């Protein structure tokens, strides 16, 4: 049995079957924007490894941050201990995120950060003796992770977890926001969500949403004006706002955090993915003083959550190095250029009869097809074009690394256009 046969027989890959799995490609190494396969082929990366490797693979600065940290300690429990990497990272995060977020809770993955955020919201209301507020409100087309409560606020149809409907806690969903990014919020979109607030705000602990860009639930970009209005409704009806910036954080949408497009302050914010530049699984749930101190004044007065790898020093130090690299770069200008290059190349597909929509924002380019694509078939076509693009459903999209050159990005886009045209 060779390695690939062993893999097929024994290793369960994401979002596929064990009996008839989608093909996998064996990677030998990755450097910068290039992924090298065992058979020697080199692919230009269009996915940033599910949107997190923003500075490229095997980045020297990030490599050094990890190897020097490993010399002093790779891990230490966070109960009863603290350390420089955790403190340095919290200082950076407080500095760059919306100013009301003053408390930093570390965890180990995006889905866990979402669970933590939802638990915080429930405990907040419990702490002030309001036990009616136990539900969440979210927007259709959303995605917040694969753990239990995170699944309950994913779109029940497009969010991959539809088979668990009826088993998960029932949450409140408003229709997909039709007002696009750059547009004012339509009356229809506003009235849809206002109605839920009017009818159910006494039961709703928090709104949870992906600000501006809905990722794995549909790659949809919506109006900043809508987001601003949701913040106003939360204030008017006494509901917390959780911003899930796991996919959008650290510059991906053209602002450092997508909330900045609407100039709003969430009560709780989740960060993950690009926080370590794609080096390690790590996440953060940030909260305002009000949220954290209300929980801490309640009964019980502590927040009962403490993952084994909370505050892992290796992850914290590589996150510090990644944030420093980002902040020292001209990421904002570059992401605008990336957006313009993608728009220029991909716009030709708008007239293609198989294509429903083409949209680009920051370092995200999406070609929405009219029909779902066959992943195995289209993936092989991309590899043949020497690029790595992994679509889902009807969305053929790219999320390039910020360090990609114009030339490499043009090649990536040309391959995308070729594949969509031939598909
Ligand atoms: N929230 C959002 C917006 C995401 O895009 C994802 C992952 N795609 C998650 C949460 C879950 O993160 P993780 O995969 O690290 O658990």
Q: Could you give the CA distance from residue 67 to residue 339 in angstroms, rounded to a whole number?
A: 34
Residue nearest to ligand 1 atom 15, measured at CA: 110
pLDDT tens per residue, range 283-331: 999 999 999 999 999 999 999 999 999 999 999 999 999 999 999 999 9
The closest-lying atom of ligand 1 relative to the alpha carbon of residue 111 is: 16
Asked if residue 408 has its Cβ within 6 Å of ligand 1, the reply is: no
Maximum CA extent, the chain: 63
Whole-number pLDDT of residue 89: 98
Q: Could you give the CA distance from residue 213 to residue 248 in angstroms, rounded to a whole number?
A: 7
Average pLDDT over residues 219-235: 98
Radius of gyration of the chain (CA): 21
Asked if residue 113 has its Cβ within 6 Å of ligand 1, the reply is: no
143 given a catalytic annotation: yes
Distance 147 CA to ligand 1 centre (A): 10
Asked if residue 90 has its Cβ within 6 Å of ligand 1, the reply is: no
Both structure tokens of 105 = 């809770």
| Catalytic residue (one of 57, 106, 124, 143) | 143
pLDDT tens per residue, range 188-212: 999 999 999 999 999 999 999 999 9
The closest-lying atom of ligand 1 relative to the alpha carbon of residue 142 is: 3
All structural domains of the chain: 3-58+330-422 (3.90.1150.10), 63-328 (3.40.640.10)
Q: Could you give the CA distance from residue 412 to residue 174 in angstroms, rounded to a whole number?
A: 36
Whole-number pLDDT of residue 166: 79
190 given a catalytic annotation: no
39 given a catalytic annotation: no
Asked if residue 271 has its Cβ within 6 Å of ligand 1, the reply is: no
Backbone angles phi, psi at 206, to 5 degrees: -160, 155
pLDDT reading at 31 higher than 70: yes
Which residue of 152, 215, 268 sits with most ligand 1 atoms within 8 Å of its CB, as the best mutation to test the pocket? 215
CA distances 383 to 25, 42, 109, Å, are 9, 9, 29
Q: What is the pTM of this model?
A: 0.97
Asked if residue 215 has its Cβ within 6 Å of ligand 1, the reply is: yes
What rounded mean pLDDT belongs to the chain?
Answer: 96
Distance 139 CA to ligand 1 centre (A): 16
């Amino acid at each position: 049995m060779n390695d690939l046969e062993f893999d097929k027989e024994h290793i369960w890959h994401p979002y596929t079957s064990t009996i008839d799995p989608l093909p996998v490609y064996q990677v030998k190494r990755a450097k910068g924007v290039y992924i090298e396969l065992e058979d020697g082929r080199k692919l230009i990366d269009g996915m940033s490894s599910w949107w997190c490797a923003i500075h490229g693979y095997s980045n020297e600065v990030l490599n050094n941050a990890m190897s020097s940290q490993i010399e002093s300690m790779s891990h230490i429990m966070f109960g009863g201990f603290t350390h420089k990497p955790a403190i340095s990272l919290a200082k950076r995060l407080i500095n760059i995120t919306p100013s009301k977020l003053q408390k930093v809770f570390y965890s180990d993955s995006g889905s866990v950060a979402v669970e933590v955020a939802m638990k915080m919201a429930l405990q907040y209301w419990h702490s002030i003796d309001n036990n009616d507020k136990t539900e969440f409100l979210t927007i259709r087309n959303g995605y917040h992770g694969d753990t239990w409560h995170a699944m309950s606020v994913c779109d029940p149809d497009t969010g991959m977890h539809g088979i668990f409907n009826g088993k998960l806690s029932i949450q409140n969903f408003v229709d997909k926001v039709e007002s696009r990014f750059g547009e004012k919020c339509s009356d229809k979109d506003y009235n849809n969500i206002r109605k839920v607030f009017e009818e159910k705000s006494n039961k709703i602990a928090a709104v949870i949403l992906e600000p501006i860009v809905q990722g794995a639930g549909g790659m949809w970009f919506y109006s900043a004006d809508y987001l601003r209005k949701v913040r106003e409704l939360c204030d008017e009806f006494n509901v917390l706002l959780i911003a899930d910036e796991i996919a959008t954080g650290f510059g991906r949408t053209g602002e450092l955090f997508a909330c900045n497009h609407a100039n709003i302050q969430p009560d709780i914010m989740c960060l993950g993915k690009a926080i370590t530049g794609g080096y390690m699984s790590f996440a953060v749930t940030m909260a305002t003083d009000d949220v954290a101190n209300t929980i801490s004044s309640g009964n019980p007065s502590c927040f009962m959550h403490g993952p084994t790898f909370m505050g892992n020093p290796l992850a914290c130090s590589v996150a510090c190095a990644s944030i420093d690299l980002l902040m020292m770069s001209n990421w904002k200008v570059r992401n605008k250029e990336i957006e313009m290059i993608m728009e220029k190349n991909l716009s030709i597909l708008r007239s293609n009869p198989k294509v429903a929509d083409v949209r680009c924002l920051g370092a995200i380019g999406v070609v929405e097809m009219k029909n779902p694509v066959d992943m195995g078939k289209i993936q092989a076509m991309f590899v043949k074009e020497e690029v790595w693009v992994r679509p889902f459903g009807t969305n053929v999209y790219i999320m390039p690394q910020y360090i990609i050159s114009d030339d490499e990005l043009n090649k990536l886009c040309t391959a995308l256009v070729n594949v969509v045209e031939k598909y």
